[in-house]
Amino acid sequence: MSEPTRTTVHVVRHGEVHNPDKILYGRLPDFHLSELGRQMAKADAQALVDRDVTHVVASPLERAQETAEPIAAQFGLEIATDTRLIESANYFEGKKVSPGDGSFRNPRHWWVLRDPITPSWGEAYLVIAQRMFAAVQAARVAAEGHEAVCVSHQLPIWTLRRYVERKRLWHDPRRRECGLASLTSFRFVGSKVVGIDYAEPAAHLVALSPGARTAKGA
């Protein structure tokens, strides 16, 4: 009887986004990588240069597609698109949500914050986790026996990781281990995850951007 196939799926968070108005951009169109973000995407490609990548897929949002470009080009691959990798839906999309910006202090919005566990202000964590896991499994099948890259967004990636690790899905956003242009790599034997690795190939570039770790709508 043959041994189960080993496959790795690298789930990449996109690079820094040009966001001069500092809003939570979420699923809004026309939010592209900044110049620093493009350098981050190239750092990811360099980190993967010696890997056996045979499939690259990304969220339909521009920042994810642009992060995937140097990775796909490096391996001579086309970029597939999977809507299941998209950013989570959020009531505060298009608004400023940083402390002191007013959106959270406005009584009009308080009812939206009533339930942090589901959560009440956006797409349910369980829905996010299940669509992300389905997307990663599809990428695993496409690259079976090799490696795949999925480019997505901070909250979906972190929710996926907690789901796979069988941890509660609601969490403190300040404690997410999912930096800009980071790689969360899921190692599979057959269809089962047997290990998770984490790396930040662009950490030296993130350090150049004071606001990078709090980028909105990541």
H-run or E-run covering 71: helix 62-75
Check residue 208 and give its pLDDT: 85
Check residue 97 and give its pLDDT: 80
pLDDT in tens, 107-166: 788 888 899 999 999 999 999 999 999 999 999 999 999 999 999 999 999 999 999 999
Average pLDDT over residues 27-48: 98
Q: How confident is the model at residue 102 (pLDDT cuts 50, 70, 90)?
A: low
Return the residue matching tokens 């966001």. 19
pLDDT in tens, 163-178: 999 999 999 998 999 9
Domain range summary for the chain, segments of one domain joined by + = 6-18+32-87+124-214
Q: Give the residues across from 79 on adjacent strands.
A: 56
Nearest to 215 by CA among 97, 66, 128, 40: 97
Tell me the whole-structure pTM to 2 decimals. 0.93
Domain at 6-18+32-87+124-214, CATH homologous superfamily? Phosphoglycerate mutase-like (3.40.50.1240)
Average pLDDT over residues 44-70: 98
Average pLDDT over residues 72-80: 98
